Structure 1
Amino acid sequence: MEEYMDLNHAEIVPVADLQKQNEDVFYLPMHAVHKEHSTTTKIRAVFDTSAKSTTGVSLNDTLLVGPTVHPPLIDVLLQFRLHKIAITADVSKMYRAVELTQPDRDLHRFVWRSKPDNTLVDYRMTRITFGVSASAFAANMSVKQNAIDHATEFPQAANVVNTSFYVDDCLTGANSIEEAVELQQQLHGLFAKGEFLLRKWNSNNTTVLQNISPELRDSQPLQLLPTNDEYTKTLGIEWSAKKDHFRLTVAKPPPLETLTKRTLVSDIAKTFDVLGWFSPATIKVKILLQKVWEERIDWDDPVPMHIKDIWSKWRTELPKLSHKLISRCHFDTDTEIVSTQLHGFSDASESAYSAVVYLRLTDTSGLHQISLVISKTKVAPIKRLSIPRLELCGAHLLSQLLHHVKRVLCIPLSNIHAWTDSTVVLNWLDGSPKRFKNYVGNRISAILDLMPPDKWKHVNGLQNPADCASRGLYPSELLDHPLWWSGPDWLKQDQTNWPTLTPNNHDDEGTEISLVVIQTFPQPVIPVDRFSKLNQLKRVTCWIIRFIKNSRFKDHSKRILTPLTMSELQEAENYWIKIIQAAHFKTEIEHILSKQPLSKSNSLLTLNPIVDNYNLLRVGGRRQLSATPYHSKHSTRNRDMVVIKEDSPLLNEWPLARVIGVNRTRWFSSCGNHQDFKWCIQTPD
């Protein structure tokens, strides 16, 4: 806290401002956070800006978080491994390098006394505060804006700010000592323009470090494990600048008398593996965790013996993973790379599916170097899926990984290869997604949007490194597993030695074809929805029918030129009835014309339907013995078209009265719900 005052990052509230209204001020509770592994500030003051005041509202409740303006953590780490010479740095007190405006300072008040017997004094922050929801955006945007403002003077440093900074951590590099020194100087100058200080400089090259002031270097390396190597924490990953390699941070788990679901989750959370280098080991306990959930075990209940045995062995072997050293740079720094390819592999089992990506780098001598880039695993859904579908999920996961790495590392699509050991998936990707059900078709579409079908190839299951991550390995098995760390042997050979599989050899097992039944019926040449009155539709239909008839007479004297007749209007009406009946009662009409009985479940059976001389379906039965007109004895039934007389006196009483009025002209099955009449030609109310 004395440092806050000495650096003018906090000030005593002036006496005049102590009289401000309550709505213009806010007091923040404060507590200390201990960080033993920090090489600079082991105790930090953190303000609880989520604490609510007497109004029931906290400072964070009134603020917006703001968007993320720095690149993802994975992208920064991926680019960090491309440089021959690595450079790391840290922005000193980045939050407290950004000033608060005068009105905002009173919203960041706190009380403090250096000794218990001293009087409490009102202070207020002059710089943005840890814990405030908007502070992260304000600090990161300040750094980014500083780079934008001075990009012309420091172009390389400005580019590094946009691509290689994660909050206050810088992970960058260069391919020569001269370039590295120039970049370090540009970064120092750029941040000095915004009154930021870059400190904790580190590099795998001593010449670069000699050009940096000793007080700004990272002179206190972190040692979490008892070894002679010097490690620093780089975005959660331990990095030895001296040996220029990474290792996984794994502390020896404390002994436990009882293994519960809570301790299982705790063990998984302690293993930070952002790039998935050790995913074959971590997926093994994730599968166990799913089994624990399936058995509905409470958080503090002991797990079953068959889970405990696997988990105990994994837990005992976990510290061995810290002995696996992974080179920071993807290639030998003494060679020149002339070609870069991405190779991705996917696989699935009943328990999980996975994807892993490798870089294949070719140097000037023609030798090929293989480096593990990234991998990702997912536990199979609790709702069981077939193996082909899980393999498809693995291929989808791989396409996403390849697309992401391709964009970050700027590798052309022509240099990307995707491999799977599932011939079923290859067969699916070789066809149209429309052939399959939604689950398969949607994922095929998503895959092909990211990776074209010509990029997918077949690999033997025994040579597929993704198999390690889909089935899981114990840490001792993963430690020296050549297939996982270096990929298949043929990847180091020329392309002529790569496995090939022609499309004719693809297995069709599991192919899903959706059967679509299409029913065809006569389509009217007149757009019905353009007419709101039945009489108008009938008259237009009459004129079209008359035109067709007249055009067939070569002798003009035989053509009909008189006004429309009642018989023509009836013919037009019959035409539309026939169109609708052909759409919905085609099978019934065919059965009646061929004198075949209707099925017992047919809804028309009780109506004793008949087909008249105009091939119209009409109601039969006892009504034919009545003295009513023919169209009343044998009415036409129309499910989708309701013929309404324009002079009906009941049109304004919907729905039941209107239906009764319609019944005088046509019979239909339902008269209680107007939703049954989907295609209705009527006069407006």
Structure 2
Amino acid sequence: MTSHVPTSLHGFCDASSHTYAAVIYIRTSCFDDSIRFTLLTARTKVAPLKAATISRLELSPALLLAETLQNVRDAMGLVDVPCYLWSDSAIVLYWLKKNPTTLKPFICNRVRRIQELTSPTRWHHIRSAQNPADCACRGITPEELLVHPLWWLGPKEKFIIYSINNDTLLSKDESEVIVSETRNTNKIITRLLRTIAIILRWLRRRRHLRKPVIVTQELDDALYTILSLEQEEHFSDEIRHLKSRSSLVSSSRILPLNPYLDENQILQVGGRIHKAELANDQRFSIILSKSTPLVKLLLQQAHKVTLHGGTQLMLAAHQGGLWEAAVKSAKHHLTRCVGTQVSWYSQLQTLTVKIEACLNTRPITPLYVDPEDKLALTPGDFLIRSPLLAVPEPDIQQIPSNRLKHWQWIRQLH
């Protein structure tokens, strides 16, 4: 093969209720700007006798194509040659872009293997009428095969669409298939906890494995075991320092959380929120690394338990977010007004009261455009039945600072 001739590999796959096939072509651009597809290899297999849906059958030729393409590239030394893979199944293309763990076992195993061999971005959609693999899986007579242009020459260039965004719209029936083949992660985390609870029961007592009821304490112990293993994997150094009662290193990513180990040796958040009048699990949140499989399972479980609720409903408590936001606003005004200046306690107290009045005068209802309309509601209306900064104060910007009283000097800062 001439190295300076633009070359690419194109693979096609398709399935029927009896067979499935994978076909690979070499596409070359000639010197006269013409495009040529040359049949390189093809493989067919008999569909399994066990009844399966067409969508599942379409996944088998996709795996066959991925494996065949890998063998061809290795055998011919075409590892660096670009490749394009084509399927007429929109459901298969959707599965190949998903995380395999979210799919049922049959689909999960095949999708994972295909993703190991090929990149999901290499897969594109092609119409069934232009799919050469359709000739092999649907059946064709020898006489027709000898003169069949689609099989020997591949699809015409005008029917091949190289789309960066290879998303294909799914019909209602296809969407229902997607939902039916998605793994129920809520049941997975429950089953995982029950399995670990039984294992822990056997490790402790070496008996009572057939006891039908798993009590709440056993499920809690199973959850603590999973959390402990997860934290040990991601925060082993921090746990070691805390167990030895030494300080965390400054480079620790959880140092701002003021972490500590509870009685179950679970890493939790410390800090000022421990003084809040909340339950323990709300005041001391468990620390987990983000985007891990366990975190995703727990979030998905919370999402389903709350009937697909939003973030606030899934969290139940706001974890001190409301008063932390107020503290942030107060600190913002303090730093803008005082900066690096040194103030007396009485001066700082005066400024703090002023900032408190500012924050309690902010509207908590929409502002009205019409000046004749009613005023917006503020926190001050609940405190003294009127805004705290209702009366404007005289301007003192032009008075020298050495002639100002303490309370006037504090006013001049802002």
TM-score between the two structures when normalised by the length of structure 1: 0.27
Structure with the greater relative contact order (CA < 8 A, sep ≥ 6): 1 or 2?
Answer: 2
- Structure with greater proportional strand content: 1
- Pair member with larger Rg: 1
